[in-house]
Amino acid sequence: MDFQLTDDQSQLRDAARRFADERMQAVAEHCETTNEPPSQDIRHALAEHGFLGINVAEKYGGLGLSNLDAIIVLEQFARISTAAAFPVFEACVGPIKAIEHFAPEELRQQVLPKVCTGDIQVAVCMSEANAGTALTDLATKAVRDGDELVLNGQKRWTSGGAHADAFVVYSRLADVPGAKGIGAVYVERDTPGVSFGKHESLMGWRGVGHCDIYFDNVRVPMAQQIVPAGGFKKLMEAFDLERCGNATMSLGLAVGALEQATAYVQERKQFGKPIIDFQAVQLRLAEMAMQVEASRLLIYRAVHNASIGLPSIFESSTAKCFANEIVRTVCVNAMQVMGGYGYATEYGMEQRVRDSFGWGLAGGTIDVQKTNIASAMAGRRFNQRA
């Protein structure tokens, strides 16, 4: 057991940190003020530096590195902001991993290289009005018609959906209830029959973009079926890595808040000395640091134990749940030690606080992660419907 990064991983982390500090601060400010995502030029720059598809196989245009390498890089971008990190998140731990692991080879060749070059961004469509936590109640349906699937339904709370170029759409592919009828299809944004609702106005996550997505007799080739009916378990296995990505976005926000607060308390003076000299401030910083370090270790364990595969539901849910909880505490405490400056929009801490609450809702709520953890401990699924 080795808790040290390799030299290559340290260099990769430092390169990502430099790029994020030098290029993504302005991007984050633009996303926050305009509610627009990072531009395609930014995605191309990320791709040129190897930050998109870090853990995608080389034959598809990625670097072919491990999931842990991708998580290490993602943290550095998440320090800056949720929106600034989102292209890296989607290209490394998002729905493209379901495509890479389970889709037909032709579809992998079609999609993954474009993601790795930053030419397209792919979002996952899971939730519906009556199927969020109860995801197996989803009603979106794809019916086979010859060599095509005809897709009908409505999705909501698709992170990045307002701007994505294509979607992995969880759908009912067989007329059987529950998980047994669910699979997924790949749908491009400009496919006839795809339309979009208004952009949601959220507490945070400006520049990510959420809206309802409508599928009205959308026809896609059978070759764009990622997994058939009965493939829900596979989709959830891929989603366990996305949980680790979600946890890392939380961790990155917490790290950024801690770094900003630590710098502030060494500069801010009251009663003739820097406020870090007061024990109350020292204790709060130490608590924040312990939470950050513990969160990182849980995430690294989940991803490392998966090696180049996918994490377990117990370890990914534990990492996500803990990170989702501590990011809120760390960001609020950072705002508190900064006083009025933490509350002012000019300094960005209040944005971190707002963004921090989103990750405990997205990708399965905090309480859902706790039921996942208990289920894994007991070795059985609990019937929430009874």
Whether residue 310 is predicted with pLDDT greater than 80 in this model: the reply is: no
Query: Does residue 85 fall inside a structural domain?
Result: yes
Query: Does residue 385 fall inside a structural domain?
Result: no
Query: Does residue 2 fall inside a structural domain?
Result: no
Q: How many domains does the chain have?
A: 3
Proportion of the chain in helix, strand, coil states, percent, rounded to 5 = 55, 15, 30
Residues 115 and 131 in one domain: no
Domain that holds residue 108: 7-119
Residues 20 and 115 in one domain: yes
Domain at 66, CATH number: 1.10.540.10
Query: Does residue 294 fall inside a structural domain?
Result: yes
**CA–CA gap between residue 364 and residue 246 (Å, rounded):** 10
Q: How far is CA 74 from CA 4, 33, 100, in A?
A: 18, 23, 19
E strands along 117-238, which residues? 122-125, 141-145, 148-155, 166-172, 182-188, 194-199, 211-221, 225-227
Residues 245 and 365 in one domain: yes
User: pLDDT tens, 123-164?
Assistant: 999 999 998 888 899 999 999 999 999 999 999 999 999 999
Whether residue 307 is predicted with pLDDT greater than 80 in this model: the reply is: no
Residues 316 and 344 in one domain: yes
> Cα–chain-centroid distance for residue 347?
24
- What integer pLDDT is reported at residue 308 of this predicted model? 63
**CA–CA gap between residue 324 and residue 359 (Å, rounded):** 6
Residues 248 and 369 in one domain: yes
The chain-wide mean pLDDT, for the chain, equals: 95
Q: What is the largest CA-CA distance in the chain?
A: 79
- What integer pLDDT is reported at residue 84 of this predicted model? 97
The residue-averaged pLDDT of 90-95 equals 93
Residues 256 and 370 in one domain: yes
User: pLDDT tens, 163-193?
Assistant: 999 999 999 999 998 999 999 999 999 999 9
User: pLDDT tens, 249-263?
Assistant: 999 999 999 999 999
> Cα–chain-centroid distance for residue 153?
24
The residue-averaged pLDDT of 88-96 equals 94
Q: Which of 89, 119, 149 is the last residue of a domain?
A: 119
- What integer pLDDT is reported at residue 2 of this predicted model? 81
Closest CA relative to residue 45, chosen from 68, 20, 73: 20
